[in-house]
Chains A and B, each alone.
Chain A
Amino acid sequence: MDMTPSNLMPKLTARGVNVFYDDAHALKQVDLDIRAHEVTALIGPSGCGKSTFLRCLNRMNDLIEICRVDGDIRLDGEDIYDPAVDLVYLRARIGMVFQKPNPFPKSIYDNVAYGPKIHGLARSRADMDEIVVSSLERAGLWDEVKDRLEAPATGLSGGQQQRLCIARAIAVRPEVILMDEPCSALDPIATARIEALIDELKQNFTIVIVTHSMQQAARVSQRTAFFHLGNLVEVGDTDTVFTRPVDPRTESYISGRIG
């Protein structure tokens, strides 16, 4: 691996991040680095702040009126909360895949082509075809849909729809992909496919995934961050967090204990 300083610099850095929903203090003073070309898993019980943190990373919380975000979040050293930042451009650099697959009510082809079209990434139809094919290939969906690209995306199975959403996310060539429980609506086989895909995608993208499945975090991530009651309790190599966690709260949570 290339160990030049630029590769050692974290892709995303969060410093002193606090989030409030009205008076509720949802995220408290979080400092976290997200390393490039790694999968970082955010785990913790419901309401711990992990999804809130994820949504800070591409300013999805801006959409929630009562939500206030304090602190400093940088992508490659640039402040993403700078008023001068173009949100559409930011979300092209930091894509997102949601819990429930949410394809547009369009054809499979158009679902993938939509993003590149609005960002003007294709100069010709041939260009666009190339983007659609390579995105579907990278998402591991090409062989299953190549003969029905004009069919409605909603006719695909849940697992296929989720891979289509991943294809749609990577079609605009993001640098970071945020995933919010991407497998929670999928069966074990479809889940395994997505997990294998996540592992491949990390070569080209930086991935942050929120998951309720600790086994999933253990399987797909290199780094794991444990959140509890709005605090980032512990972050470390996934191996270490699952075999020798430092904080007793982490130990209790991952081993299914009360307390």
Chain B
Amino acid sequence: MNDRAEHISKAFDEELRQLDNRLAEMGGMVEAQLAGAVEALRRGNTELAEQVVARDKDIDALDIEIDLFSVRLVALRQPVAADLRTIFAAIRISSDLERIGDMAKNIAKRTMVVSRFPPLATTASIASMARVVQTMIKQVLDAWTARDTEAAADIFARDAEVDQHYASLFRELLTYMMEDPRNIGPCTHLLFVAKNLERVGDHTTNIAEQIDYAVLGTRSAERETHDPTNTLVPEAENR
């Protein structure tokens, strides 16, 4: 694959290509799910939200398929070096994609509740946070296909942006809740939606790390996630 010479066993090359194709397919499904979930939230479209929830099982099925296919490759081909790293990276990426799928599903479920309340201005902020996250996913999937470690490095910078969005949404939602207790219900759900998006960003950086691993064989220690809301205290006395 890529710039490496072909295997003597053409069937093994074909299997590695299949693995990449399945992962690309899964990536595409996850992108669509997240886009659907955010769109449903923005428009209060419960029908679309229901579709997103229903489609999540397809992603789960594909995750299991990739998992079993990879185990089979390891057992039958006994891969080493870059082949081995690629297969393990694929297993981990698949599981990160599956989690992103779960986040999309959770956003869709919360949409069904939030849509019963009058719309809040925060949905626009959430949509702009979602755009950053969606761009990250697209970038990381492209970087994986191209095994491009430089493009993968870019993802880490983007994740800091996501964290900033999340922190500002956190404050915004707190403000709404303090203004009117009737907002607490929908705002709590939106807070979880924002947290889901923030975690999608984290899973995306995990995938970026796997690109480094597959290509270079290096694994960085757990990256520091900068979530300033972990220690944020609502300043109720100022209200």
Contacts and interface: CB of A to CB of B under 8 A. Distances in A.
A244 B217 contact: yes
A243 interface: yes
A255 B83 contact: yes
A214 B217 CA distance: 20
A contact patch SS = helix
A218 interface: yes
B81 A242 contact: yes
A257 interface: yes
Interface string A239-259: 000111100001110111111
B239 interface: no
A4 interface: no
A177 to B, nearest CB: 26
Interface of A: 214-215, 218, 242-245, 250-252, 254-259
B4 interface: yes
Interface string B83-117: 11100000000000000000000000000000000
Interface of B: 4-9, 12, 78-85, 217
B contact patch SS = loop
7 contacts: A218-B80, A243-B85, A245-B81, A252-B5, A255-B80, A257-B7, A258-B5
B82 A255 contact: yes
Given A243-B85, A243-B217, A254 B8 contact: no
B78 A215 contact: yes
A195 to B, nearest CB: 15
Nearest to B12: A256
A244 B84 CA distance: 10
A255 B6 CA distance: 10
B5 A257 contact: yes
B99 to A, nearest CB: 26
A239 to B, nearest CB: 11
A16 to B, nearest CB: 29
A251 B7 contact: no
Contact of A242 (B5, B8, B9, B80): B80
B124 to A, nearest CB: 47
Contact of B9 (A214, A256, A259): A256
Contact of A214 (B6, B12, B80, B85): B80
B84 A256 contact: no
Contacts of A245: 81
Contacts of B79: 255
A243 B81 contact: yes
Given A243-B217, A254-B80, A258-B7, 11 more contacts: A243-B81, A243-B84, A254-B81, A255-B7, A255-B80, A255-B81, A257-B6, A257-B7, A258-B6, A258-B8, A259-B5
B19 to A, nearest CB: 15
B218 to A, nearest CB: 8
Contacts of A252: 4-5
Contacts of A243: 80-81, 84-85, 217
A244 B85 CA distance: 9
Contact of A244 (B8, B78, B81): B81
Tell me which of B5, B79, B85 has the highest count of chain A C-beta atoms within 10 A of its own C-beta: B5
B144 to A, nearest CB: 19
A258 B83 CA distance: 14
Contacts of A254: 80-81
A214 B6 CA distance: 19
A154 to B, nearest CB: 35
B73 to A, nearest CB: 12
Contacts of B85: 243-244
A259 B13 CA distance: 15
